[in-house]
Structure 1
Amino acid sequence: MTAPFKAAAVQAAPAFLDLDAGIDKAIKLIEEAAAQDVKIIAFPETWLPGYPWYIWLDATALYMPLVPKYAANSIVAGSPQDKRLAQAARDNNMHVVMGLSWNVNGTLYMGQWHYGPDGEVISRRRKLKPTHVERTVYGEGDGSDMVVYDTDLGRVGALCCWEHIQPLNKYAMFAQNEQIHIAAWPSFSVYEGGAYALGPEVNTAASQVYAVEGQCFVLAACATVSDEMVEALCDTPVKQQLLKKGGGYARIFGPDGSPLGEVIPPDQEGLVIAEIDLNMIAIGKAAADPCGHYSRPDVFRLMFNNKPSPPVMAFDNEDTREFAGTDGRTASQTTQDGAETAT
């Protein structure tokens, strides 16, 4: 039996294209959560320095002038901004899972960085497959990014946005006995009324179904689009119709799919806070565990390559391979840091 604790999902607009201002705002939200005795806080997708909504509003060539600024405000591991986030986690004795644009030697990745309450980095993961036009901005992750980690609160994993509609992604995470899942979403206000699949009903349902399928708690953080972002990005009447203010639908779901915490209006900022009791997972597992007693491995199995796949493989003098990941970990370290994964 474990003691219940409080968790928070952020619903707030980013400080768009201003990394340092975004760090300032993040720290304020972390401190606000700490004042309410929150032990883990989840931030939206690419909240630092903001989701690049311009990729949905115009031709690729026309938004190229924004590329240098977006890259310059994408965070680098080991940077002063990284250290400030680590310090905030340590100062507030809190797990912080931040959604961000991660700059690795010029290539950007849709990242989620998990800082422990001691300020140490638990994980740095990349979105396995950026969605649609996101691939004009970001690179891809690999199997080493699909890991659930043991922490003092429980087993924690994370995915971004439409990674939640990829059945094999989900099964790989469920198989690692995930208990607390961080779902990072960018906002549900683009193509409003014209693309139902991008709206709040479908994507909130994806977070809720994830909780039921995985018998885990889901902290679904969701950003909002601010007036300032609309003014900066929507310089024509057509663009003003394509991207609307608001779109925040942060939620927390229990392992039976039940909504937890108070809902915030979609055009407002705040924290959705709920109590997490991991003992309740046992009830869900008893009914249906798709990776356990409710599975049929004689009929269906998942092949899961959880090794890093870097573009360069170095061979040492003994002709043994060492795979270096983008965060500096080797394949052996990735296996040690992560969980045993089923194939």
Structure 2
Amino acid sequence: MPRFCIAAVQDAPVAFDLEASLSKLEALTVTAAEAARSQPDAANLALPVVVVFPEAFLSAYPRDHDFGARIGSRTDEGRAWFRKYIESAVPVSDVEGPIMSRIRAAARNNNVVLVVGVVERCDGPVSGPERGTYGSSNKGGFGTLYCTSLTISNTGELLSVHRKLMPTASERLVWGQGDGADIRVVDTIVGRVGGCICWENYMPMQRMALYSMGVEVYVAPTADSRESWTSTMRHIASEGRCFVVGCNQYAERQDYPGEYPGLHGMNSTDVVTLGGSVIVGPLGNVLAGPLFGERGILCAVVDKDRIHEAKMDFDPVGHYARPDVFKLVVDTKSKPVADLTQGV
């Protein structure tokens, strides 16, 4: 079916509280699915739906938090907050465990493709399919967190786990790096879904890798709420000839714990993250948004035939690629943790 619905959820988790954030994810997925299916162009058509959540929705983007780290020194308070961050993270490899089962059920129960940003921990149980079937076979460090995007099918199958390749600036203190095996585009009922997290979208070769994999729905969960982000999303849609979903949190000070050491001097309703979520068509035309300064759900009914039309005069991996001049090499291999110790 060429037509489908896109819903981008602009909201915030209950930061550092995984249980409350999971409940919010479940409720917002229901609302987003209903909003998408109630669009005038979708009513009574049973169109497929993809629901996208922001970066680090489960369960905190630790804005303005330095975790007590300075060059040459750390604090006990900062280490305690890092422990809280680990405790509120998602054990992704425990696919059949209680937390991942709830996330997968949110997709299955609402018959939607679900893309959600999580903070991933790697020290828990392992269940379900082998990691290499949905992401890097590198299990990750047992004390390291990753900024990760999950793609789950409408039947609740974990299709893709993408770890952010390059955390930005101070994010590197609390998040590890992904690898090339995480760069994936997967088949879903709405088409081929893939994407980049936040400033990965400024990495031209990573974008080109996704174009070469035939991405049709390019998801860009982010923490960037600058007005320039809309221009980035429009550029990627025009460049990749694909639908682009930029999705960011709208967060206020009250979405963070009262004792949170960052965000000094703010009142409970002061805005921490403005949002800026947007849905863009394959010619760079804005279909919904950008939405700033409030919580909300953006919806658009789209037609994949527009992708074919857009590629008539520009195909970044086809007639416009010039493989006689340029070559892109992507190392999609990953090493299991056990292999890292060989030769030591």
Would you call these one fold, judging by a TM-score over 0.5? yes
Residues matched between the structures, number: 300
1:258 aligns with 2:288: no
Matched with 1:245 is 272
SS of residue paired to 2:308: helix
Kept after mapping to 2: 8 A contact 1:187/1:225:
no
Q: Which runs of 5+ in 1 are unaligned?
A: 189-199, 315-320, 322-343
Matched with 1:101 is 119
SS of residue paired to 2:147: strand
1:73 aligns with 2:115: no
Letter in 2 for 1:35: E
1:30 aligns with 2:29: yes
Kept after mapping to 2: 8 A contact 1:142/1:309:
no
Kept after mapping to 2: 8 A contact 1:216/1:255:
yes
Matches within 5 A, 1:1-343: 2-36=1-35, 37=37, 39-55=49-65, 59-60=69-70, 61-62=74-75, 63-77=78-92, 78=94, 79-105=97-123, 106-188=143-225, 200-229=226-255, 232-234=260-262, 236-237=264-265, 244-264=271-291, 266-313=292-339
Kept after mapping to 2: 8 A contact 1:186/1:224:
no
Q: Deviations over 1:305-326 (max 9, x none)?
A: 1111334329xxxxxx9xxxxx
SS of residue paired to 2:117: strand
**TM-fit CA distance, 1:152:** 2.1
Kept after mapping to 1: 8 A contact 2:230/2:276:
yes
**TM-fit CA distance, 1:56:** 5.8
Kept after mapping to 2: 8 A contact 1:8/1:42:
yes
Query: What percent identity do the matched residue pairs reach?
Result: 32
Q: Deviations over 1:165-209 (max 9, x none)?
A: 001111111111110011001252xxxxxxxxxxx1222222221
Q: Report the more deviating stretch, 178-187 or 223-232.
A: 223-232
Q: Structure 1 residues 168, 218: closer, same or farther in 2, change over 3 A?
A: same
SS of residue paired to 1:5: strand
Name the CA distance, whole Å, in 2 between partners of 1:72 and 1:186: 21
Name the CA distance, whole Å, in 2 between partners of 1:148 and 1:55: 33
Name the CA distance, whole Å, in 1 between partners of 2:318 and 2:206: 17
Kept after mapping to 2: 8 A contact 1:212/1:255:
yes
Name the CA distance, whole Å, in 2 between partners of 1:70 and 1:294: 45
Name the CA distance, whole Å, in 1 between partners of 2:249 and 2:263: 21
**TM-fit CA distance, 1:115:** 1.1
TM-score when scaled to structure 2?
0.81
**TM-fit CA distance, 1:65:** 2.8
Q: Structure 1 residues 4, 228: closer, same or farther in 2, change over 3 A?
A: same
Q: Deviations over 1:273-321 (max 9, x none)?
A: 001211000122111112110011121111111111334329xxxxxx9
Letter in 1 for 2:186: Y
**TM-fit CA distance, 1:229:** 4.3
Q: Structure 1 residues 262, 209: closer, same or farther in 2, change over 3 A?
A: closer
Q: Deviations over 1:25-57 (max 9, x none)?
A: 111111002223271111111111110113469
Kept after mapping to 2: 8 A contact 1:101/1:111:
yes
SS of residue paired to 1:53: coil
Letter in 2 for 1:12: D
Name the CA distance, whole Å, in 2 between partners of 1:55 and 1:246: 14
Greater per-residue helix proportion? 1
Kept after mapping to 2: 8 A contact 1:101/1:108:
yes
Kept after mapping to 1: 8 A contact 2:277/2:289:
no
CA RMSD in angstroms comes to 2.3
Name the CA distance, whole Å, in 1 between partners of 2:309 and 2:66: 42
Name the CA distance, whole Å, in 1 between partners of 2:173 and 2:262: 20
Name the CA distance, whole Å, in 2 between partners of 1:225 and 1:289: 38
Q: Which runs of 5+ in 2 are unaligned?
A: 38-47, 124-142
TM-score when scaled to structure 1?
0.82
Name the CA distance, whole Å, in 2 between partners of 1:57 and 1:201: 28
